[in-house]
């Protein structure tokens, strides 16, 4: 069951650098699938969309700096979440590639000049497996453990809209 689809237009950027200005969530309006109004308060979007933006990427920390695809860096930064490496000395972190945590430092640069609502309760994702982007498959996925509930893992997937649409079950 696919709950959220996120996509961007790639290959047509004509200027250097990227910025995430807003997102448009999909939803049901008058019994029809539709895009909801644009949201600039990205850090307070639907929790499923935030999980995808914050948890489905190939980012790593190098000297406390996010390193990876520039679009993934900007999308992650827009969420206001933090990325943390696992503690190599902890048995609890065995098999964990990275943690992403919501809450904490909540100065979201994408809401400058706007009233920033109270931070949501802390939520964390442990990335336990990455399936890196494949140009042949036109998608990437990450398996995440949400809020340290090892009995409940999710697969977060992003990719070309037509490819993701084929993975969806019609209702």
pLDDT digits (tens, 9 = 90+) for 63-110: 889 999 888 998 899 888 899 888 765 767 778 888 888 864 333 333
pTM of the model: 0.74
Q: How wide is the angle at C-alpha 69 spanned by C-alphas 126 and 2, nearest 5°?
A: 55
The residues that are catalytic are 8
- One pLDDT digit (tens) per residue for the chain, 171 residues: 555 555 555 555 445 667 788 887 776 677 777 777 888 888 777 778 888 889 999 999 898 899 998 889 988 998 888 998 887 657 677 788 888 888 643 333 333 344 444 445 577 899 999 999 988 988 999 999 987 766 788 899 988 878 887 887 665
Q: Where are the alpha helices (DSSP H) in 15-110?
A: 47-55, 70-79
Query: What span, in angstroms and rounded, lies between the C-alpha atoms of 144 and 156?
Result: 7
Q: Which residues contact 104 (CB under 8 A, 6 or more apart)?
A: 82, 119, 122
**Cα separation values, 20 from 38, 62, 124, Å:** 12, 23, 22
């Amino acid at each position: 069951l696919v709950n959220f689809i996120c996509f961007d237009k790639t290959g047509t950027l004509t200027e250097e650098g990227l910025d995430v200005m807003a997102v448009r969530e999909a939803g049901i309006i008058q019994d029809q699938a539709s895009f909801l109004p644009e949201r600039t308060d990205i850090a307070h979007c639907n929790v499923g969309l935030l999980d995808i933006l914050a948890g489905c990427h190939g980012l790593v920390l190098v000297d406390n700096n996010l390193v990876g695809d520039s679009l993934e860096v900007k999308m992650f930064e827009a969420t206001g979440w933090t990325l943390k490496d696992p503690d190599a000395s902890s048995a609890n972190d065995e098999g964990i590639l990275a943690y992403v945590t919501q809450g904490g430092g909540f100065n979201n640069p994408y809401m400058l000049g706007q009233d920033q609502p109270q931070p949501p309760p802390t939520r964390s994702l442990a990335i336990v497996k990455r399936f890196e982007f494949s140009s042949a498959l036109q998608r990437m996925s990450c398996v995440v453990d949400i809020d340290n509930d090892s009995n409940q893992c999710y697969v977060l997937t992003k990719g070309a809209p037509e490819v993701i649409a084929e993975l969806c079950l019609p209702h």
